[in-house]
Each structure stands twice: as C-alpha cells, then as structure tokens.
Amino acid sequence: MKTTLQNFNILLLILLPALITGGLLIFSGNLSDGLRLGFLSLPGVIFLVLAATQRKFYWYLLSILWWFIFWFDSLLRSSTWILFSSDNEAYFIIEAIANTSYAETWEFFQLHMLTILSVFFGLIALTVGYNIAAFKYLKENSFKQLWNSRFYRICIIFLVVLTLTSYLMKPSRKVHPVVFWTNYHEKIQDFRDRIKQHKNVHHQWDQSAQQNLIIQDPSKLKQTHVLVLSESITSLDLGLCGYSRDTTPELNKRIDQLKVFCNAFSPSPSTINALRVLLTESPAAEYKTYSPESILAYARAAGYKIYWISNQDDIYLSSLFGA
C-alpha cells in the first residue's frame, strides 16, 4: 500500500506541470484546446527525467525553459477567456491587436508594468521552484520503481501514445505554442495587409459613386447633412430616452435640432464591423470582403464635405473611412 501511494505521488509530481498547463486553459473555458495543450506539453517530462537522473545543468535548464514556455502560453491564452469570455482567435481580438499602434502598446505596458512584471517573475519563480522540488524528490530509483509497477507502466505507455497522437494530428498540433503563435502572427499580418489595400478600396468607391449617382432634384443642391455615429453607450442610460435621471441636459436643449433613435441596435459588436455594415453594403458575416459602394463616396460625389472626427488612434477605421 505504501509503495502504491509512493508511485502515485511520483507520477503526480511528474505530470503536475502538464496538468497545470492544460488545466488552466480548461478552467478558463476552453476544454478541447486545454486537453490538447496538456498532452503536447508532456515531452517536457523527458527533460525532467534526464535532469533528475543525469544531474546535468543543461537538462535542468531545458526543463525549466520548457515548462516556463508552456505555462506562459497557457496563461496568455486563458487571459482572453477570463477577461472577454472569448477565444484568442476571435476576429474582434485579432483586429484589436492588429489595429493597435506602437505608441498605444507602449502606453499599455507602462500603465500595467508592475502587474506584467509581477506575473512574469512570479511565473519564473513558480517554474524554478517546481523544478527544484522535483529534482530534490525524484531520484533514478523513483523512475525504476514506477516502471516496474505493471499498472503505472501501462499508464505511462498510454500517455506516450496520446502524446504522439497529439503531435501527429493536425488539429492538435496547431495548438502547440510554436505553431499557434506563428499562425496567430500571420492572421494579424493579414489584417494589417488589408489596411494597405484601403487606398484601392476608396478608388473603387469613388468610381462607383461617380458612375451611379443620380441627383433627383437639382434645385436643392445646397444642403447640410450631419451624420453622427457613436459607440460604447446605450440608450437605456440616456435621459433623452426615458432614463429616470437627466443624463443628457445639453442634448435636451437641442432636441428640436436632432433626430434620436433610442432603440437602435448596432449591426455588429465590433466597432470596425459595425461601421463597415452601416456605411457600406458589406454583410456583417463577410468581414474580409469590401462592398463596391459606400455612402461616404456617394456623399463626396454629390459635393458634400466629409470629415472624420474620432477620439481613437484607430489605424484601420481612419484609413478606411477617414481618408
């Protein structure tokens, strides 16, 4: 009984990093990727075993580095599930990252520097602490004792088969940190490349508007139209729309000059997609395609002055609608 419990503790200590790797992602809400990532991290056990048996410094270093990478990767991927209840590869997350300027990135790191450094060095301390404890407890005889047990030998073989399967199957292999972040960078770059195409999109919009524009009443050539697009607010909080407290005193003074749509809904939860659907003919689902026509291009063709005023340093929006 004592030997069985000892074998269980040895196996648990060996598998603990993989359980943390996959368990964190599973706990955050991504069961399938959590299981895959856990099995993909298991080759790190080899470095752990070699370090514990051969007592070579480079095996210690490889073991620490391996588990630090997988733990950091799991923590990073779990963050979007914890903060936004969404997968890292959700389009609105990719577009937000790709659409962030270097100045905004630097400001973010400056603002959260203490938290980021605390997490980073805390993770290093946790990784080093685990490996020191494992190297101190695990000896060469520990692995021999584990392998000599028929039950645990079958468990080890089963885990090896699952690990090999995870590396051979493409859906599982795509979850590996190297493959995942390489593909992720390509998606971000693809989004940025589309920003560079906006000049051609504008040319197509202007050309289409000039060809198709029909002015119904030439006598009313001088008109003023103001289109105000707002985000991140809900009409439920506006006194103008029936909220119990007067939260819109200035708007109330000018109510006779305005047309307010209190129960309007955005066509998309993403700012970029919402504006794209509102100002062009693009369907909400087809986020990678551009409509051949734009209401702004028709307004320009009709002689209206178009101004883009925004409090956001938004590369994508300003290049698509503000140029």
Give the structural domain span for 109: 2-192
What confidence tier does 2 reach under pLDDT thresholds 50, 70, 90? low
Residue 201 inside a domain? The answer is no
Question: According to the model, what pLDDT value does residue 124 have?
Answer: 94
Alpha helices in the chain (DSSP H): 2-28, 31-40, 44-54, 57-84, 91-98, 102-111, 113-137, 140-148, 150-168, 170-173, 177-196, 198-212, 249-253, 271-279, 295-301, 315-321
Residue 248 inside a domain? The answer is yes
CB-based contact 305:214 (threshold 8 Å): no
User: 105-121 pLDDT, tens per residue?
Assistant: 888 889 889 999 999 99
Q: Are residues 48 and 101 in the same domain?
A: yes
Q: Are residues 151 and 281 in the same domain?
A: no
Q: Are residues 60 and 183 in the same domain?
A: yes
| Averaged pLDDT of the chain | 83
- The answer, as to whether pTM is greater than 0.85, is no
Residue at which a domain ends, from 146, 175, 192: 192
- Evaluate if residue 67 carries a pLDDT over 90: yes
For 321, residues 6+ apart whose C-beta sits below 8 A from its C-beta are 275, 279, 296, 308
- Evaluate if residue 1 carries a pLDDT over 60: no
Angle between the N-to-C axes of helices 44-54 and 113-137, in degrees from 0 to 180, rounded to the nearest 10: 50
Q: Are residues 165 and 248 in the same domain?
A: no
- Evaluate if residue 64 carries a pLDDT over 60: yes
Q: Which residue has the higher pLDDT, 1 or 49?
A: 49
Please state, in angstroms and rounded to a whole number, the distance separating the CA atoms of residues 208 and 233: 34
Please state, in angstroms and rounded to a whole number, the distance separating the CA atoms of residues 239 and 241: 5
For 196, residues 6+ apart whose C-beta sits below 8 A from its C-beta are none
User: 175-199 pLDDT, tens per residue?
Assistant: 999 999 999 999 999 888 888 888 7
> Tokens for 261?
């749509």
> Tokens for 144?
């021999």
Q: Are residues 13 and 123 in the same domain?
A: yes
CB-based contact 101:313 (threshold 8 Å): yes
